[in-house]
Amino acid sequence: MSRLSSTDTPTEEEAAPEVDTARNELVARFTAHLGEGLLESHVDPGVDVWLRVSRESWLEAAEFAKSGLGFGYFSFLSGIDWMPSPFGRDMDSSIDVALGNDERSEIDQTIQHGVAGGTGRFQVFARLNDVVNGLGITLKVDLGDDLTVDSWVAVYPGANWHEREAAEMYGFSFTGHPGLRPLYLPSEFEGHPLRKDYPLLARQMKPWPGIVDVEKMPGDDDEGDDS
Amino acid sequence: MTAISDREQLSYIAAQAADARVNVELETEGMTLNIGPQHPATHGTLRIVAKLDGEQVVAVDPVMGYMHRGYEKLAEVRTYPQVTTLVNRIDWVGSFANEVPFILAAERLMDVEAPPRAQWIRTILFEMSRIANITLFLGDMGLQVGAVTPAFFAFRDREHVLNLIEAATGGRFHPNFDRIGGLKDDLPAGWITETKRVMKKMRQYCDEIETLVEGNEIFQTRTRGIGVIPADIGLSYGLSGANIRGSGVDWDVRRDNPCGLVHNETDWKVWTHPDGDSFARFWVRLQETRESTRIIDQLLDNIPSGPIMAKVPRIIKVPAGEAYVETENPLGVMGYYVISKGDLTPYRVKIRSASFNNISITPWLLKGVYVPDIITILGSLYFILGDIDR
């Protein structure tokens, strides 16, 4: 598991461009093990790999990644709310202000998922590392209407606090978690702050003025004064 | 009459009960000890509720959230250049290092690469914030075992590094200097010569700490074999930085997954220690500080000339996509998972901070240790509260 000498640096970065054999093989092994459980995958050659698994395979994916593929390192786990904010993306107006255009762009309320796709509003995603080969992997899972998914604590004990955080911030529930108490928020706190429909009061009370002051960059050559 | 005898009876029973309690020598009642929220070993406001049996810890429950500022939510309503102001305040002792992974993630989404000179200066400042951060730890670790002098040494010598950071960036603690596509400014005149002088001084500081703390017998007894983390447990909790390298895991993002930083242009070494105890974590950090001064020296020698800013639009809109970039920050691996929908603001930013994972091992690690060791173990894990609570 551990290399005690730093002389043997991994060479997978050099083999990066176009076809990423290491990451493609990773996806192939996941497909072979999970079968139907692996819903979608995406490889960004030389950079990263994403896998979306079904809810039933979420725990199995973690077990396989840890014992079968050497992803012993648990990096983080969190959630995503894909529903565009009903309050509008108030920063959009800033483009118009800055470009001298008063028309506000229409807020698109359709849910568009990110890399490796998805269904429904909420996703849980987690990141694992293989410290021997220097590879990282992002796993995603769609949550159904009950916002429940298996807990990873039995496989990665480090997931404990991350799941508590996701639970209070998004209102998720993790089956098999030893104690889903709030981590940061006081116990009487209402609502789930990281959901897109949870208003950020500071922004609502005092709307953003738009880009009124664009910082001059060293590369800007249109105005040469240093005042 | 009967009343008196009743009272006598009661006092007799009470005395018997007291005797019985004393006689069962080792069985003491459990006690709950609150450590913090204000305690020097917690670097901020972490509260640890420890259930004790005599001097031994039965269970601990860290309570966070005293400093939760909700940066992940705030980042959703700020433009990309504005986010660096927030993330500066995550690990406030090594601020510049916090900005780097976020900017790198935004650059990856925009497909922009900083010019070589900017990458070099970034790496130099990145390592400098490591020195500023870990210098404090090295002195503070002495403080945890009762040696006050190293702490003064630490604050004295950290000042030299902070002055350099201030000279280059304008901010001692919150530089806010990194920009998408490069840096705010070039280095000031005379900075390179001065930095070389200071690096020599920092190496002397490391030697001082080595003789003053590391070789000290009391320090050795208080840290050797205390708080041992086996490598596989550390990995499954997601420990990083010197905490995992102190357990013999040879993994350093700077070497194994360099993205945007140029550490591998220099000749340097990743230090590990096989023991996994408090002493090993201290030792690894001490070696790393020295190594950082060497990295900076080498980078200063072959710093390329040229622009420090790539061509980026004045109003930055980041194309839709997802990117996760992690770097080896002073406290451990720090990463930003940035989801963009093509707006001025990020759609979602997940901040993976090192201390959050590093401290999540405490319920496991502190079970069964003695009360004074809680302090040294917490000290050796080295966390900054802003980095836990974000």
Write down all domains in chain A, each with its CATH number in brackets. 18-208 (3.30.460.80)
Predicted complex ipTM exceeds 0.85: no
Average model confidence (pLDDT) for chain B?
A: 85
List of residues 6+ apart from B189 with CB closer than 8 A:
none
> Would you say residue A105 has pLDDT above 60?
no
Do A219 and B236 lie within an 8 Å CB cutoff?
A: no
Question: Which whole-number Å values give the CA distances from B180 to B202, B346, B351, in the listed order?
Answer: 31, 14, 18
* Closest to B105 measured CA to CA, from B74, B80, B88, B132: B80
The answer to whether B336 and B364 have CB atoms below 8 angstroms apart is no
d(CA B218, CA A196): 53
In this prediction, residue B289 has a pLDDT band, given cuts at 50, 70 and 90, of very high
* Chains A–B, number of C-beta pairs less than 8 Å apart: 172
Task: Tell me whether residues B235 and A72 touch, CB distance under 8 A.
Answer: yes
Confidence of residue A226 (pLDDT cuts 50, 70, 90): very low
Sign of the C-alpha dihedral computed for residues B240, B241, B247 and B253 taken in this order: positive
Six-digit token string for A111: 């849910």
Of the pLDDT bands very low, low, confident and very high (cuts 50, 70, 90), residue B141 is confident
Q: Which range has the worst mean pLDDT, A111-120, B261-270, B301-310? A: A111-120
Q: Which of B108, B309, B360 sits opposite A219 (nearest CB)?
A: B309
The verdict on a CB contact (< 8 Å) between B74 and A92 is no
* Contact (Cβ atoms closer than 8 angstroms) between residue A176 and residue A159: no
A218 contacts B344? CB cut-off 8 A: no
Q: Out of B256, B312, B364, name the one closest to residue A134 (CB).
A: B256
Q: What is the pLDDT of residues B157-212, one digit of tens each?
A: 889 999 999 998 888 888 888 888 888 888 888 899 999 999 999 999 998 888 88
DSSP bridge pairs for A139: A51, A126
Predicted confidence (pLDDT) at residue A120 exceeds the cutoff of 70: yes
Contacts of B144 (CB under 8 A, 6+ apart): B41, B375, B376, B378, B379, B380
The pLDDT tens digits for B47-100 are: 888 888 878 888 888 888 888 888 888 888 888 888 888 888 888 888 888 889
Contact check, Cβ <8 Å, A184/B361: no
Asked if B65 lies within 8 A of A186 by C-beta distance, the reply is yes
* Confidence check: pLDDT of A102 > 50: no
Q: What is the pTM of this model?
A: 0.82
| A134: chain B residues, CB-CB within 8 Å | 251, 256-257
In this complex, which of A48, A94, A219 lies closest to B344 when CB atoms are compared?
A94
For B105, phi then psi, to 5°, come to -65, -45
- In chain B, what residues touch A169 (CB-CB under 8 Å)? 72
Cβ–Cβ gap B322/A203 under 8 Å: no
In contact, A133 and A10? CB cutoff 8 Å: yes
Chain A residue at shortest CA distance from B361:
A158
Residues in chain B, total: 390
Between A222 and B64, whose confidence is greater?
B64
Instruction: Select from B77, B237, B250 the Cβ nearest to the Cβ of A3.
Output: B250
CA A181 → CA A27, A165, B14, B341, B365, distances in Å? 35, 9, 41, 32, 20
B145 CA: distance to closest CA in chain A (Å): 28
Separation between Cα atoms, residue A12 and residue B44, nearest integer Å: 40
**Full 3-state SS string of chain B:** CHHHHHHHHHHHHHHHHHHHHHHCCCCCCCEEEEECCECHHHCCECEEEEEEECCEEEEEEEECCCCCCCHHHHHCCCCHHHHHHHHCCCCCCCHHHHHHHHHHHHHHHHCCCCCHHHHHHHHHHHHHHHHHHHHHHHHHHHHHCCCCHHHHHHHHHHHHHHHHHHHHHCCCCCCCCEECCEECCCCCCCHHHHHHHHHHHHHHHHHHHHHHHHCCHHHHHHHCCCCCCCHHHHHHCCCCCHHHHCCCCCCCHHHHCCCCCCHHHCCCCCCCCCCCCHHHHHHHHHHHHHHHHHHHHHHHHCCCCCCCECCCCCCCCCCCEEEEEEEEECCEEEEEEEEECCCCCCCEEEEECHHHHHHCCHHHHCCCCEHHHHHHHHHHHCCCHHHHHC
In the sheet that holds A48-53, the strands lie side by side as A38-44, A48-53, A135-142, A122-130, A73-81
* Contact assignment for A76 to B350 by CB distance below 8 Å: yes
Chain A: give the shortest CA distance to residue B77, in Å.
Answer: 7
Tell me the two tokens of residue B260. 């945007």
Q: Read off the pLDDT of residues B209-249 as tens digits, 9 standing for 90 and up.
A: 888 888 888 888 888 888 888 888 888 898 988 899 988 88
Asked if B344 and A92 come within 8 Å (Cβ–Cβ), the reply is yes
Phi, psi (5° rounding) for residue B337?
-100, 105
CB contact under 8 A, B236 and A10: no
Phi and psi torsions of B23, nearest 5°: -65, -35
Q: What is the pLDDT of residues A54-93, one digit of tens each?
A: 888 888 888 888 888 888 898 899 998 888 777 655 555 5
**Residue B3: how many CB atoms within 10 A of its CB?**
7
What pLDDT, on a 0 to 100 scale, did the predictor assign at position A8? 44
How far does A114 lie from chain B, in Å, by closest CA? 7
Q: For residue A5, give how far its alpha carbon lies from the nearest alpha carbon of chain B (Å).
A: 7
Alpha carbon distance A92, A146 (integer Å): 32
Contact B257 A134 (CB under 8 A): yes
CA of A55 vs chain B CAs: smallest distance (Å): 22
Residues from chain A that touch B333, judged by Cβ atoms under 8 A, are 75
User: Using the beta-carbon criterion (under 8 Å), do B270 and A6 form an inter-chain contact?
Assistant: yes
